[in-house]
């Protein structure tokens, strides 16, 4: 399939986000997509994900954007603000540009929960984000074909 994926990944909590990225890219390759079809952009933290996704969407070069990050609760309310900003920002980009923006940002209480979600007992959320991206890519294409 001729499709272009953009993956925006946060460098904060890098031991987790590297695994998310590895899982997503690996799944896309397993499904037949080449490295030439996948653009990876790294941002400092989760809050920077929505702006980067918006700039990618505005470029009209990508069929789907996968957003990956890990927000792990700390001792302050910062966690709540970050989670809200990132989730709302990604949704806003998706609705503004009619483009699948996949929310693969972990929001966990602790590092153990995060590790469980990158190949542990809770599966692999990077792989799931890629699966969701492919599903939405096909769905959007199908709907576009129906409208023609």
DSSP state of 100: -
CB burial of residue 83 (10 Å; 0-12, 13-18, 19+): middle
The catalytically annotated residue of 29, 78, 124, 135 is: 78
Cβ atoms of residues 36 and 5 within 8 Å: no
User: Catalytic site residue 78?
Assistant: yes
DSSP state of 45: S
Catalytic residue positions, numbered: 78
């Amino acid at each position: 399939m001729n499709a272009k994926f953009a993956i925006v990944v946060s460098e904060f909590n890098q031991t987790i986000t590297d695994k998310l990225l590895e899982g997503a890219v690996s799944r896309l390759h397993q499904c037949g997509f080449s490295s030439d079809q996948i653009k990876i952009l790294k941002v400092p933290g989760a809050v920077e994900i929505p702006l980067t996704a918006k700039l990618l969407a505005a470029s009209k070069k990508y069929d789907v954007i996968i957003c990956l990050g890990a927000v792990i609760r700390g001792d302050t309310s910062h966690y709540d603000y970050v989670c809200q900003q990132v989730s709302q920002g990604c949704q806003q980009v998706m609705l503004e540009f009619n483009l699948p923006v996949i929310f693969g940002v972990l929001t966990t209480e602790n590092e153990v929960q995060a590790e469980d979600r990158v190949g542990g007992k809770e599966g692999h959320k990077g792989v799931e984000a890629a699966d969701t991206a492919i599903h939405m890519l096909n769905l959007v294409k199908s709907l576009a074909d129906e409208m023609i």
